Structures are given as C-alpha cells and as structure tokens.
Structure 1
Amino acid sequence: MSANRVRGSSGALVALLVMTAVWGSTFFVIHDLLTRLPVTDMLAVRFAMATVALVLITGRRLRMSWSTVRAGSVLGLLYGVAQVLQTVGLAHTAASVSGFLTGLYVVATPLLAAVALRARVTPTVWLATGLATVGLGVLSLHGFSVGYGELLTVASALVYAVHIIVMGRLSRPGEALALSVVQVAVITLVCSVAACWPGSGRGAGLQLPTSARDWLTVAYLGVVAGALTMVLQTWAQARVEPARAAVVMAMEPVWAAAFAVAFGGERLTIRMVTGGLAILAAMYLVELAPRRRRGDPAAEVHSPPAVPAEETSP
C-alpha cells in the first residue's frame, strides 16, 4: 500500500514537472501571437480547442456523475476568472512583474490552506515556499510600482491558489479526464464572455486567427498547453497535497527562461541561474529531502497524496 502511494506521489511530481515545462514553452510560442489576436479571444479559442480535443480523445468512454459536473464547474469558473484577471492585469503591467505576482500563488496556497482548511503546513514546506518566492523574484523582478494592473494580477494569484486548494480537495484518482473536460468547457465559457463583453471597447464578436501559423500556435496552446496540462494537473493533485503542488508548479518560470535561452536568443544570466537554483532547492525540500532524511521512501507520504472520501464530505 505504502509503495503504491509513493509511486503515485512520484508520478504526480513527474506530471507536474511536465505540465510546468509545457506552460513554460508557451511564453516562447505565444511571443508574437498577441500582437495580432486579443488576449481574451485567444483564451476563448484556445480552451474551446482544448474542450473539443478532450471530448474526441475520451469519446464514448466519457462518463461522469453530477458531483463531477459540479466539481468541474467550480474549478473551471475559478481557473477561468484567474486567467481573465491575469491577462487583463498583464495589459497594465510589465510581463516580468506579472510573472512574479502571478507566481505568488506559491505563498498564497499554504496560507489559504492553513487558514481555510486548518491544514498543517510543515516548517519544511514553509521554507520551500519562501525559497520558491525568492527564486521567482530573482528571475522576474527589475523593480515595480503598485497600480491597477498589479492589483489585478495579485487577485489572479489568489484565485489560482484557491483553484489549487479546491483541486486538491475535489480531484480523485480515475476521474481526471471527466473532471478536465468539465473544467475546460467552463473555462471556455468564462473566457468567451470576457472576449465578447460589450464594454471591452473593441466591438462585439470573437476575433479568430487569420493565418495557418496562428491557428497552429493556438492549437498547440489549446491541445497541449490546455487539454494535456489540465489532465496532468487534475491527475497529479489527486495524489499530492496543494502546498507541495504549488512549490513544484513554481518551476514554470524556470522552464520559460530555459526555452527563452534555447530558442529565443536570450542570454543566460546570473539572475536566471540564481533564481532557478532557488526554485530547484525549494522543490528538493518538499519532495526529495524528507525521503533521504528518513531513509524510507514510504515515509515521505506523511500527508495523504490522495484525498480520502471522508475528507471531501461536507
């Protein structure tokens, strides 16, 4: 039993790392797309393609209960609102500052879990959270002032943190596909409403990509960085608690920097190396150090990676 749970926790770590690598690749892929396509329109098309992809992949195997529909709707609403807040905030602040402030969900997740759920957060996780935050700051910040865009981005980070916590409570092994389908469908609805909102000042209707290259980019963002990553996160968070998941997810800007250096022509800097090492150290603390210290892999799962049914009951 313990060995199976450890394998599940290790698999969840790999899934989250793959997810953050894909997320990191989007910064490079999306570099010039948003000069031709409004952000909310891109999000609506992206998640619509993610929904279609998941429905086609699951086909007749797709089965879900009303509880799954309710859970997925709540999660999709949270994620969709966070996406809109983040992207609107991005229009009023620097991308580097936005990346740091969005990454504050690493801090917000254990704080909210401790307050709202009375979850016990170990000193090791708090230390890892602090290290990850320092790493995010070193990677991203070149100074900033607090304004409208920054406040919206902080709000998005808080909503992302709530999404991570709720995902940890509602996601169950074996329901990743069904829960993901509902989530991306609701995210599509939220982003479509934001894109077509009458007060947006750019006219009614949804603007679509106009070239094959842009369609391919949006397809990658939807199918790989939308559908696949949603399934990976949903599956992984059924096996690892939210605070640890948030620390691992802080690897996203490290991957983004790596892709920028490898494919975007950027120079490798001391800031990138220092920030990346701090985040890697944080991930080591929450995932690997306890196992080596105890000398027993099974002992690492001191917090249940899968949420027992009785803990999700009201």
Structure 2
Amino acid sequence: FRPEFSRSNLPGVLLAGGFLTVATNLQQLGLRYTTAGNAGFITGLYVILVPIFLWLVWRDPVRWHSFLAAGVAVVGMLFINTGGALKFATGDLYELAGAVFWALHVIIIGIMVRRMNVLAFSIGQFTFCGIVNLVSGLIFEPFQITNILSSGWALLYAGILSGGIGYTLQAIGQKFSPSSDAALILSLEAVFAALFGYLFLREGASTSQILGYALILVAILIAQALRPTPTEPQEINEYSSSGN
C-alpha cells in the first residue's frame, strides 16, 4: 500500500505540521510557568475557537448549537481542571497562544483530509513536526542519552500511540465530520483521562470534576441532537466559500 501524495498538497501538509509543532511547544513551555489544571483548561479553549475562526476567516455559517455546545464544554473543562476556580499565572499566555494553534490545527486537518489521502497527510505532518522538533531540541536542549533511554517506553507510547495513531484517527474522523464537531468530540479526552486514571492508577474524582465530565457529555449531546437535518455530506464542502 502506497499513500498517494501530490506536490500541490505540500503547503497544506507543512502548515499542519507547523501548527502542530508550535502548539505542542507552546503547551510545554507554558507548563513551566503555570499549573497543569490551568494548562488543561486554557488549551481546551480551542473547542470554542474552532467555530469562531471558521466563521471569521472561512465565513462558515454560524451554527448556534455549535457555540452553545462549545460553551458548555468549556465550562465543563473549567470544573475538571481547576475545580471551578481559575488563578492566572504567567504561563497561561503561552497556553492561550497554544490554544489558537490547536484550533488552527483542527481546521487545517479538516481542509486537507478532503483533498488528499489521510495516511499521506498524517505521515507528512508527523515527518515535518518530528524533524523541526529534533533539530530545535539538539540546538536548544541538553542532549543526554541516559534521559532518553530511561524514558524510552513513555516516548514510544507518546510518539506511536498517542501521537501517530491518535492524530491519524482524528484525521480519518474529520474527513466525515465538521471541524467544530470534531473539536467538541476531542474534548472527551478529559473524560477518558479520568476513566483510565481510575482503572489503572486508582485515582478518584472530585464532585467538581464529575460535574465537568457530565457537562462535556451534555455538550456532545447538544451538538448531535441539534444538528441540522439531513446530515448529507455538506461538511465535505465546508470551506468551499473561501476558495480553499
């Protein structure tokens, strides 16, 4: 099996890889100066940024139920990550900038997977992201082989399962789903994190976190229940008005 790749799609693939690179690095940089709870919540703001950008830049028709669902999901993430109380720190600005690039990454995926082979797209964006991060890491970070070997299994898991397989499945899903809905579904990451944390680490959940999980599930139901009918492949032409 050979994934098809066209040179005309190269700029879009590189753009996706660039967005992914900037988003991940801003997220990691922000974590040095803020709490994990703040980082999780602010990063999750891409859920509501996606429909806003689609409307502002691509003139995608405003779907009020998408904004309603995204707003409910954002409140849910606030309860999950911060317990409902958000104290701002210096690193939050990095996380907010990262949320912008996460939103752009979701949007560019939605555009490119309708133009080209999904596997070719995924290979291209991961290759670009990997090369840029490798070069920048060698330049700006101390290289210690012992640290890499000691974290080998975690790196393999993050690179292959969480990164390679996870983002490829996301691209496949976005081929058949509007980007605003995809961003909302991706917010379920917090729910699954809690589930697996309980199953494998025996971590409990506070009342505010349980409320947050419930709100995210409600947001998903809002997005699906209020979706216009029929749900024909209109999403395939989601960005046609922009000339893309």
Alignment correspondent of 1:57: none
**After superposition, what is the alpha-carbon deviation per residue over 1:17-39, rounded to whole angstroms, capped at 9, x for unaligned?**
xxxxxxxxxxxxxxxxxxxxxxx
Relative to 1, partners in 2 of residues 1:132 and 1:122: Cα closer, same or farther, differing over 3 Å?
Answer: same
For structure 1, the 5+ residue unaligned runs are 1-59
Query: Counterpart in 2 of 1:153?
Result: 95
Aligned match for 1:194, one of 124, 136, 144: 136
CA contact (8 A) 1:197 1:204 kept: no
Over 3 Å counting, the alpha-carbon distance change for 1:140 and 1:127 in structure 2 is same
TM-score, scaled to structure 2: 0.90
For the aligned residue pairs, the C-alpha RMSD in angstroms reads 2.3
Deviation at 1:265, TM superposition (A): 2.2
Q: For 2:234, what is the secondary structure of its paired residue?
A: coil
Matched, 1:290 2:218: no
Cα deviation, 1:173-200, whole Å, max 9, x if unaligned, reads: 76110000000011112322332234x5
Unpaired segments of 5 or more residues in structure 2? none
Tell me if structure 2 keeps the 8 A contact 1:168–1:307.
no
2:205 to 265, 268, 274: 268
Partner of residue 155, structure 2:
218
Q: Which residue of 1 aligns with 2:36?
A: 95
How do 1:233-272 and structure 2 match up within 5 A?
233-272=170-209
Structure 1 position 180 matched with structure 2 position 122: yes
Structure 2 letter corresponding to 1:229: G
Quickly say closer, same or farther: Cα 1:264–1:205, change in 2 above 3 A.
closer
AA aligned to 1:220 is Y
What residue is the counterpart of 1:66 in the other structure?
Answer: 7
Report the CA distance between 1:82 and its aligned residue.
0.2
Match of 1:13 in 2: none
Q: Check conservation: 2:59, 2:241, Cα contact below 8 A.
A: no
TM-score, normalisation: structure 1: 0.71
**Measured at CA, do residues 312 and 112 of structure 1 come closer, stay the same or move farther in structure 2, by a change above 3 Å?**
closer
- Which residue of 2 is the match for residue 36 of structure 1? none
Letter in 2 for 1:290: L
Supply the distance in 2 between the matched residues of 1:81 and 1:277 (Cα, whole angstroms): 31
Q: Which moved more, 1:89-98 or 1:259-268?
A: 259-268
Query: What is the alpha-carbon distance in structure 1 between the residues aligned to residue 146 and residue 171 of structure 2?
Result: 30
What fraction of aligned residue pairs are identical, expressed as a percent? Answer: 27
Find the aligned partners of 1:116 and 1:273 in 2 and give their Cα distance. 36
- Partners of 1:117 and 1:206 lie apart in 2 by 45
Residue number in structure 1 paired with 2:105: 163
Retained in 1: the 8 A contact 2:111–2:239? no
How many angstroms does 1:120 deviate by? 1.4
Answer whether contact 1:251 1:279 (CA < 8 A) is retained: yes
